[in-house]
Each structure stands twice: as C-alpha cells, then as structure tokens.
C-alpha cells in the first residue's frame, strides 16, 4: 500500500494536477487526451478514486496542486474518511491531516488551503502519511539541500 501511495502521489505531483469534488468512477475528464504522457496514470487514479477532477469535468493538468488537493489525494490513498464538507470543501481532509499528524498546528495556522503545495510541505505530508522519519537536511546529497527550510528538515 505504501508503494502504491508513493507512486500515486508522485504521479500527481509530476502532473501538477488538481482535484476537487466529483465522484470517482466513470468520470471522463475533458482535457485529458489519449495521447498525453499522463493519460493512463490519471485514468488509473480516477478509477481508484484517488482523484476526480473539477466540477466542470476538467482536470486542468497545467494547474499547480493546492495544499487542499494534495492533502485530499493523500487522504484518499490512505483510506481516511473524507466526511461531509464544512467551511472549505477540503475542511474535513485538512482536519484529518492535522489529527493524523501530517500537519502541525504551525502548518495549519499559516497554510492557505488553496495555495500551491510546496515541495517541502508535500514531502513532509508524505513522510508523515507513510510513517517515515524526517532526516537531517545536511545529510542529503542534493546540491540545494542547504536551501531546505529547517522546519521541514528536522
């Protein structure tokens, strides 16, 4: 399950797609063409119920993924209850992310649900969802490791 979650969320980030409130199943996404490099992956994720597209039937593959959308995809992959909407369409999912330890009080306080998810926050959420320990940024072999926010690297 953890490999599946990692693959699904990696594909979702790579596509930089968005998802909202359509029911999964036989959803036909108007802007996901059969020749697109992400066509099969998107359709597999729709069929699995991890993503669904926008209310107008589009997927908007050029959009950035918002914090709310990323948390929602992660929650669906982990099988967390999504519950009924309140306040924001992803309010329940954001609360579940906080309750599950994916987001801290600080994250929840400054995070705007509709802003694009940063790679740092996405990594933090994935590490928490997968039960992985966060490492020391200094031990990373990335050339830009020094630029990682220490709040995410500790």
Average pLDDT over residues 94-114: 83
More confident residue, 117 or 136: 117
Q: Is the pLDDT of residue 42 over 80?
A: yes
Cα end-to-end span (Å), the chain:
26
Residue 14 in tokens: 């790579």
Q: Is the pLDDT of residue 21 over 50?
A: no
Look at residue 72 and give its three-state secondary structure: helix
Distance CA 50, CA 78 (A): 9
Contact 70, 117 (CB under 8 A): yes
Hey, how many other C-beta atoms are within 10 angstroms of the C-beta on 89?
16
Hey, how many other C-beta atoms are within 10 angstroms of the C-beta on 103?
22
Q: What pLDDT score was predicted for residue 148?
A: 75
Q: What pLDDT score was predicted for residue 91?
A: 84
Question: How many residues are listed for the chain in this entry?
Answer: 154
Distance CA 152, CA 64 (A): 21
As a whole-number percent, the residues of the chain with pLDDT over 90 amount to 33
- Neighbouring residues of 45: CB distance < 8 A, sequence distance ≥ 6: 8, 11, 12, 51
Domain that holds residue 69: 2-153
Q: How confident is the model at residue 19 (pLDDT cuts 50, 70, 90)?
A: very low
Q: How confident is the model at residue 79 (pLDDT cuts 50, 70, 90)?
A: confident
Q: How confident is the model at residue 17 (pLDDT cuts 50, 70, 90)?
A: very low
| Domain total of the chain | 1
Mean pLDDT of the chain: 78
Average pLDDT over residues 96-101: 89
Q: Is the pLDDT of residue 23 over 50?
A: no
Distance CA 152, CA 18 (A): 24
Contact 59, 31 (CB under 8 A): yes
Q: What pLDDT score was predicted for residue 11?
A: 55
Q: How confident is the model at residue 1 (pLDDT cuts 50, 70, 90)?
A: low
**pTM across the whole model:** 0.71
């Amino acid at each position: 399950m953890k490999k599946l979650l990692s693959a699904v969320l990696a594909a979702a980030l790579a596509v930089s797609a968005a998802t909202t409130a359509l029911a999964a199943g036989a959803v036909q996404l108007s802007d996901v063409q059969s020749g697109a490099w992400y066509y099969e992956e998107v359709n597999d994720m729709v069929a699995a119920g991890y993503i669904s597209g926008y209310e107008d039937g589009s997927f908007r593959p050029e959009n950035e993924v918002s914090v709310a959308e990323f948390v929602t995809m992660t929650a669906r992959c982990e099988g967390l209850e999504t519950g009924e909407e309140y306040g924001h369409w992803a309010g329940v999912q954001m609360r579940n992310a906080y309750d599950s330890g994916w987001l801290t009080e600080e994250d929840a306080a400054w995070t705007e649900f509709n802003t694009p998810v940063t790679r740092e926050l996405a990594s933090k959420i994935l590490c928490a969802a997968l039960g992985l320990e966060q490492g020391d940024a200094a031990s990373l072999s990335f050339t830009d490791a020094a630029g990682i926010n220490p709040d995410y690297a500790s």
